[in-house]
Amino acid sequence: MNIVILSRNKDLYSTRRLIEEAESRNHFVEVIDPLNCDLIIENEKPTILYNDKYLDYIDAIIPRIGASVTFYGCAVVRQFEMMNVFSTVSSEAIIRSRDKLRSFQHLSKAAVDMPKTVFTNYSRDIEKVIAQVGGAPVVIKLLEGTQGVGVVLAESNIAAESVLEAFNGLEARALVQEYIAEAKGADLRALIVDKQVVGAMKRQGKEGEFRSNLHRGGTYKYHALSDSETKIALKAARSLKLPICGVDILQSDRGPLVMEINSTPGLEGIEAATKKNIAQAIITYIERNKD
């Protein structure tokens, strides 16, 4: 098979591992920067031009679209879909997962447990918004933040009001979310491939940090998911129609709560923690599902 990995950096761990596993199975692999693709749209003949060649020979793509290039990256994925090229994750699913408000609305409809969340249209009644999630401390998240960027813990009502007023002044839309204190700065990452949890780890934020993201200095270790954690991770992935994703879960006194879903999860931490070949599972998924 001819497989394209849509990535802006071929040296990233996840990209390198996918290349290694695909080539070990005798597939031809290319890494293509989606921002360098030209989309040619014409009647019944959608095509993509990249470095003066037409990408009309591709069998499958693996999108590794960064949050900062979601719009154009997803347009490229959509163009491949119009060309009947198999994609490990659809363009619509990526867009759905990147919009925190939209993803939480889908999770809510699917009865997936999550921290109580409020979204308001630049409300002047900030005190009421904070009270709706149980009062301070609260977590305030920009709608399009990633890797912990744009996520603030406000430990008092006054602090929360100040942050929301600042975001409102900048016309930056944000969610206000219940803070799960008993999680103690840790969360679980469940990696799903083709309706199965193929690995899980527990991530712990560094001292004094409530965000557990590895990019922010968090640590990780292997975690064996409970039945309830496995069930909620799979349910969350189904609700957003993501065959491959990372589901982030908080351990709370009322059971597991879904915090976020990542449509292009990194492989480095999860492979190191679980000692499992996650990249191989992704290539196998393509082989199993490509017509």
Domains of the chain as residue ranges with CATH = 2-95 (3.40.50.20), 117-179 (3.30.1490.20), 182-289 (3.30.470.20)
pLDDT at 56: 93
Sign of the CA dihedral running 101, 66, 148, 233: positive
Q: Is the pLDDT of residue 206 over 60?
A: yes
- The average pLDDT across 224-242 equals 97
pLDDT band at residue 291, thresholds of 50, 70 and 90? low
pLDDT at 11: 93
Looking at 17-31, 39-53, 80-94, 131-145, which range is the least confident one?
131-145
Looking at 81-95, 133-147, 214-228, which range is the least confident one?
133-147
Q: Is the pLDDT of residue 215 over 70?
A: no
Q: Is the pLDDT of residue 210 over 60?
A: no
Q: Is the pLDDT of residue 243 over 90?
A: yes
The CB density around residue 121, as the number of other CB atoms within 10 Å, is 6
Q: Is the pLDDT of residue 103 over 80?
A: yes
pLDDT at 170: 77
